[in-house]
Amino acid sequence: MNNEALKLHRSSFGDPKNIGNVLSKEEALKLLNDWVLNDKLQVHMKQVGFLMKKYAESKGYSAEVQHKWYLAGLLHDADWDQWPDQHCRKIIEELESRKIDPEIIRAIASHGPRYFGVEPETEMDKMLYAFDELSGFTHAYSLMRPTGYEGMEAKGVKKRLKDKTFAAQVSREDIADATEKAGISLDELIQFVIIHQKFALSLEE
Ligand SMILES: [Fe+2]
Ligand SMILES: [Fe+2]
């Protein structure tokens, strides 16, 4: 698939009239279950949703805002399993047709600027971009450690990032670009993922 095919060629998403319209957690999980058949992808989406929620919480944002961050993370790859050639156009159009808050749709549209051609602008956009690859990478690392997340340190994650053969599909370039855009250090971001991600799945069950 060439990069051009996924470009969205748009810069505005959703309708400002819909600010505050969200899916409930149950509705969002139903959409995820209906659309995403691949268990590993479901895990990834739930982990990113959880990290987004926790990050918004760590910033002291309201429960409503935390839920928006959660939804952006939870649904960002909803169309990737069954319609990879329409990623992430299909989920954007679905959320637009359901009149969902434009800030959530915009965050999803900018989660891969190289692919979709949409620059992350808001803090929510930037953090989704930053957590996306690093979350999957850290999870892959946890699976090869005998103790999983227990005793994991940022320096271990960074060492694996330098090993280009480990989780080779994870773009180191995107991680560097995203942390720079988010204005957060790689160490801080990795530390946040290590601390929180192990709890991600227990929240959903
Ligand atoms: Fe994606
Ligand atoms: Fe993703």
**Rg (alpha carbons) of the chain, rounded to whole number:** 16
**5: exposed, middle or buried (Cβ count in 10 Å: 0-12, 13-18, 19+):** exposed
132 Cα: distance to centroid of ligand 2 (angstroms): 5
What domain count does the chain have?
1
**Residues 94-121: pLDDT tens digits?**
999 999 999 999 999 999 999 999 999 9
DSSP states of 106-121 as a string? HHHHTS-HHHH-----
Ligand 2 mean position, distance from CA 111 (Å): 8
Does 10 fall in a domain? no
CATH of the domain at 157: 1.10.3210
Percent pLDDT > 90 in the chain is 94
> What pTM was computed for the model?
0.96
Ligand nearest to the CA of 79: 1
Place 197 in a pLDDT band, splitting at 50, 70 and 90.
very high
CA of 80 to the centre of ligand 1 (A): 7
Ligand 1 center–CA 40 separation, angstroms:
14
- pLDDT tens digits, one per residue of 27-59: 999 999 999 999 999 999 999 999 999 999 999
Range of the domain at 126: 18-199
Residue 2 lies in a domain: no
Whether 12 maps to a domain, the answer reads: no
**Of 74, 79, 87, 69, which is closest to residue 28 (Cα–Cα)?**
74
**CA 193 to ligand 2 center in whole angstroms:** 14
Residue 28 resides in a domain: yes
Tell me how far the alpha carbon of residue 133 lies from the centroid of ligand 1, in angstroms.
9
Which ligand sits nearest to residue 115's alpha carbon? 1
